[in-house]
Amino acid sequence: MNKEEFSWGNNRRYNSYSEYIRKLFGERVQKVAVDAGFTCPNRDGTKGIGGCTYCDNEAFNPSYCDPKESITEQIRKGIEFHAVRYRRAAQFLVYFQPFSNTHASIEVLKEKYEEALLYPGVVGLVIGTRPDCVDDEKLSYLSALAKNYFIQVEYGVETTNEATLTRINRGHTFELSRKIIEKTHSLGIRTGAHFIFGLPGDTLEGMMEMAGQVSSLPIDTVKFHQLQIIKGTVLEKEFQADHSGFHLFGLNEYIDFIVSFTEKLNPSIVIERFTGEVPPRFIESHNWGLLRNDEILRLIEKEFERRDSWQGKNHI
């Protein structure tokens, strides 16, 4: 296949998020994370307590995010933080990242979101949440915002295996995820999904079969992460007590897996990331050494080239 034939319009061997954004806006647009002080329904007693067994939000929350500060101040600090590396970025997406960022009243959400949209240079929002934290009123509001701004709702789906979702105390089903993703998409809201490979109970064969289920979802973007055991979590205790049922990927194994998975993936879905990155101090073990995400991405791209392969090559 000639590189010019890739359906996403560039010579990357997968449908890259950075190219997708550049095509939409004509330039780089920088994400700036904020912590709006929300929690989750499986933490605060709405549906349960303890949260997801694998989760520690501190492990991925940027240092400049502080829920005690205003959204405006966090955006200012975030832009200043990223300016060291991305000096040319003039437009920004505010990423409501930690916990479930639709788990509040519509009045609170409007206040937080609209404060962010008023900041100079902000062209839209990316809202990380769960499928059980939206309703018709919230989606209708986001649909109205999406007529004038880039609005994306990113749902934590994590796995299509219902038994695994129960085991990790997720508090919702894959069928609910599918239903809410379909509704969100139907309202003209950009829709993303997040999946973790290696959760306890998910087999290698079962994870590969997920490619078909993910491909059938009406999503614009997807994030894939390998499971990392975070210190102090319930999952760490489970892992230390009994390793069986866990599939912690070695680096070369994961590269082989994720390339094969991506070959089966719908080529219209934009891939934001293939791997997760957590500060070393949070990790129970460093079975991949201290490689950064960009270094692992280069290895993944080399494997695509070695195979002369691309996203969707084996998509049915």
The first and second tokens of residue 20, run together, are: 């997708």
Q: Do the Cβ atoms of 22 and 28 come closer than 8 Å?
A: yes
316: pLDDT confidence band, cut at 50, 70 and 90? confident
Provide the β-strand partners of residue 197: 226
pLDDT number for residue 250: 92
Average pLDDT of span 136-156: 98
Flag whether pLDDT at 71 surpasses 70. Answer: yes
C-alpha to C-alpha distance for 103 and 176, rounded to whole angstroms: 16
C-alpha to C-alpha distance for 27 and 93, rounded to whole angstroms: 13
Q: Do the Cβ atoms of 91 and 61 come closer than 8 Å?
A: no
Flag whether pLDDT at 288 surpasses 90. Answer: no
The first and second tokens of residue 294, run together, are: 């960009």
Sheet holding 91-96, edge to edge: 29-34, 91-96, 122-129, 150-158, 190-197, 221-226, 270-273
pLDDT number for residue 267: 97
Q: Do the Cβ atoms of 112 and 36 come closer than 8 Å?
A: yes
83: pLDDT confidence band, cut at 50, 70 and 90? confident
C-alpha distance from residue 176 to each of 10, 159, 160, 162, 171 (Å): 35, 12, 11, 11, 11
Q: Which residue has the tokens 């649909």?
A: 143
pLDDT number for residue 126: 98
Percent of the chain whose predicted confidence (pLDDT) is above 70: 95
The tens digit of pLDDT for each residue in 152-171 reads 999 999 999 999 999 999 99
Q: Which residue has the tokens 């590396």?
A: 85
Flag whether pLDDT at 105 surpasses 90. Answer: yes
Average pLDDT of span 291-306: 95
In this prediction the pTM is 0.93
| 197 closest CA partner among 223, 167, 171, 220 | 223
The tens digit of pLDDT for each residue in 109-121 reads 999 999 999 999 9
Flag whether pLDDT at 274 surpasses 60. Answer: yes
Provide the β-strand partners of residue 53: none
C-alpha to C-alpha distance for 8 and 20, rounded to whole angstroms: 8
272: left (phi over 0), alpha (psi -120 to 50) or beta: alpha
Flag whether pLDDT at 90 surpasses 90. Answer: no
The tens digit of pLDDT for each residue in 216-272 reads 999 999 999 999 988 889 999 999 998 888 888 999 999 999 999 999 999 999 999
| 71 closest CA partner among 34, 108, 46 | 34
Flag whether pLDDT at 285 surpasses 70. Answer: no
Flag whether pLDDT at 280 surpasses 80. Answer: no
pLDDT number for residue 60: 64
C-alpha to C-alpha distance for 177 and 183, rounded to whole angstroms: 10
Flag whether pLDDT at 125 surpasses 70. Answer: yes
| 272 closest CA partner among 219, 224, 217, 213 | 224
C-alpha to C-alpha distance for 202 and 205, rounded to whole angstroms: 8
pLDDT number for residue 110: 98
Ranges of each domain in the chain: 12-307
23: pLDDT confidence band, cut at 50, 70 and 90? very high
C-alpha to C-alpha distance for 143 and 141, rounded to whole angstroms: 5
Q: Which residue has the tokens 């769960």?
A: 130
- Mean residue pLDDT of the chain comes to 92
Comparison of pLDDT for 229 and 150, the residue scoring more: 150
Count of Cβ atoms closer than 10 Å to residue 240 Cβ: 10
Flag whether pLDDT at 287 surpasses 90. Answer: no
pLDDT number for residue 4: 56
The tens digit of pLDDT for each residue in 3-17 reads 557 999 999 999 999
Comparison of pLDDT for 5 and 54, the residue scoring more: 54
The first and second tokens of residue 55, run together, are: 């989760």
312: left (phi over 0), alpha (psi -120 to 50) or beta: left
Pick the CATH number of 12-307 from 3.20.20, 3.30.565, 3.30.1600, 3.40.1710: 3.20.20
